[in-house]
A and B are shown apart, each in its own frame.
Chain A
Amino acid sequence: MKLSYAIKRIGVFFLIIWLAVTLNFGLPRMMPGDPIEQRLALITAFDEYAATNIAEIGASYRKQYGLDKSLVNQYFTYWADLFRGDMGVSMSDFPQPVAQKISAAMPWTIGLITVATILAFAIGSLMGALLAWKRAVKYVLPVMPIFMVLSAIPYFLLGLLLIFSFALVYTIFPLGGGIKIGMAPSWEWEAVVSIFKHGMLPALSIILSSAGMWGLGMRALMVTNQGEDFMHLAEAKGLPESRIFFVYALRNAMLPQITAVAISLGFVLSGSVLVEVIFNYPGVGFLLKQAISGKDYWVIQGIVFILIISVGVTLLVVDLCLPLLDPRINYQKK
């Protein structure tokens, strides 16, 4: 039964990919408004010399993007291009390849959001676990309402408030950006410190706004563990309290949380769009915002494609790995 589950799950994965690619191909072509015409209008408005042979420019754009061919032809070309990692070229920075733009932005986003997500998860889970622990609850209870309220506030607004407090009123951290202006990202000490400083506030806004949710989830899981036989056994054996807490209670409650953090890591690229916009952080979200305001459809499409793939792959891996991690999970039908 296990093999058939895996095959089914992989089938759903390909369905997701197919749907995503097709939507990505179809949506822009269904929408009113021709991006080429919009681009040409922009060129005519700003460049008098180019305006004289605008028809030719338009034709060469269409040829470049393959828009002069039939729709069916375009669809298959789109697939073939994707397999080669070719996502077209940017329109705002013609002719820089979209793939190049995205891969330059990705390390920023992955670095920032992965670290922030894991920290939020660790802090939140520990807090939640202590909340369900009789002898520790009195230390955690007072801070919990603060984290709960923070988790209700949209993270990008939290970001604005953090900028105001720690970059303007107290100038501890920089206002935005990914690294000091004029500095190139590298592994040298100075660059690393600068990257760290610039990442501090965006990361903090994510951690503060999500730690509360992790805490709530963990508390609920820990509560169900208490009163289980293995907990009584651990106490009866006279094990030290810290060992009971970490090895018996925490570890057994952890699995659903780990699933959840794995899934949210799949959303790393898309979860941060607005944080990056608020902090002018040079990642994928900021690129997306620029592409939107510049009507650079090929960049938008490329980013959306990468995001859907990353979420799809993560969910697939999580679903396939879970039965291996916990033998109690099986997907057999009754």
Chain B
Amino acid sequence: MNFIKKAVIKSIVNYKLTLGLFLCAVVVLFGVVGPAFYDIEKQEVGAGMPMLEPSSEYPLGTDAQGRDVLAWVIAGTPATLRIGLLAGILGVVIGAVVAFVAGFYGGWVDTILRILTDVLITVPGILILVIAASMLEVVTIELMAIIIASLAWMGPARVIRSQVLVLREKLFVDVSRLSGEPDWKIVFLEVAPNLMPFLLASFVSAVAGALLASIGLEVLGLGPAHLATLGQIIFWVDFYNALLRGAWWWWGPPILVVIILFVGLFLASVALDEIANPRLKTRV
């Protein structure tokens, strides 16, 4: 766990990682602690009069259906985060397993998995998502995450595979092979820990990619319809032309939360990439 110690030290020094994690933490706290301070029941349709400007009773006003915007955004944040996290974890785990199997065993296993990855990577993800999501009748958070993850593992698989290929040739792998360790032990106890920085970096970018895909689907009206998510709020913003109506209190907050989250994730992933891959260091 040397890497974690290193990352902690570096995060204090590395302002990008600190700022990135801070921004992500702000959004997470907003969604997790928010309900304790504010009644999110008010996100229901008809909780107030429609199109109210911000006031002491409705700090961020209401939308065209009388939903309290603040309650709505608080309720939507954790749902969006859950989809992104779940899909990101699934994507990296599937990608890592494929990469370890392909990279470590090589031969025809590698060939088949590589062709499969290459073929699937050409398929425009959002379109398959559109087909799948538009044909399911009820979309839950978990289902949404699975749909997104099924097309999010190829990126991590490619990156990790190339690293496994490098590590496979290292002396310590030969040593443990000669000392009779089973393959799975070599993969998980010798190779995987050395790839922690890479796994973490591809996890962060997988989460960002999954969030982008999920918000995109929701903006198209394909998300979980019965649940508040940030993308769904933006769908209604587009549906009711909130921009034209000048309802800044309605379209502003969800966009702001999404932007904070994405900038945070972006900074964190740039910083983690630099730690995992020192050659990328910003030097001129």
Contact = CB atoms under 8 A, between A and B. Distances in A.
B224 interface: no
Interface in A157-192: 157, 160-161, 163-164, 168, 175
A156 B216 contact: yes
A175 B244 contact: yes
Most A CB atoms within 10 A — which of B212, B219, B265, B283? B219
A267 interface: yes
B216 A154 contact: yes
B118 A12 contact: yes
Interface stretch (B53-61, B121-129, B171-179): B121-129
A148 B131 CA distance: 32
Given A152-B265, A153-B259, A274-B219, A292 B124 contact: no
B102 to A, nearest CB: 16
Interface residues of B, number: 43
B148 interface: no
B136 interface: yes
Given A19-B119, A163-B243, A304-B131, A220 B280 contact: yes
B219 A292 contact: no
B251 A160 contact: yes
Interface in A1-48: 12, 15-16, 19-20, 23-24, 27-28, 31-33
A269 B237 CA distance: 25
Given A16-B119, A152-B265, A307-B127, A131 B284 contact: yes
Contact of B124 (A132, A151, A156, A311): A311
Interface string A214-241: 0000001001000000000000000000
Instruction: Determine the main DSSP class of A at the interface with B.
Output: helix
Contact of A154 (B119, B134, B215): B215
A117 interface: no
Given A175-B244, A277-B238, A292-B221, A33 B135 contact: yes
Contacts of B124: 267, 269-270, 304, 307-308, 311
A154 B280 contact: no
Contacts of B137: 32-33
A312 B121 CA distance: 10
A153 B243 CA distance: 19
A137 B135 contact: no
B130 A300 contact: yes
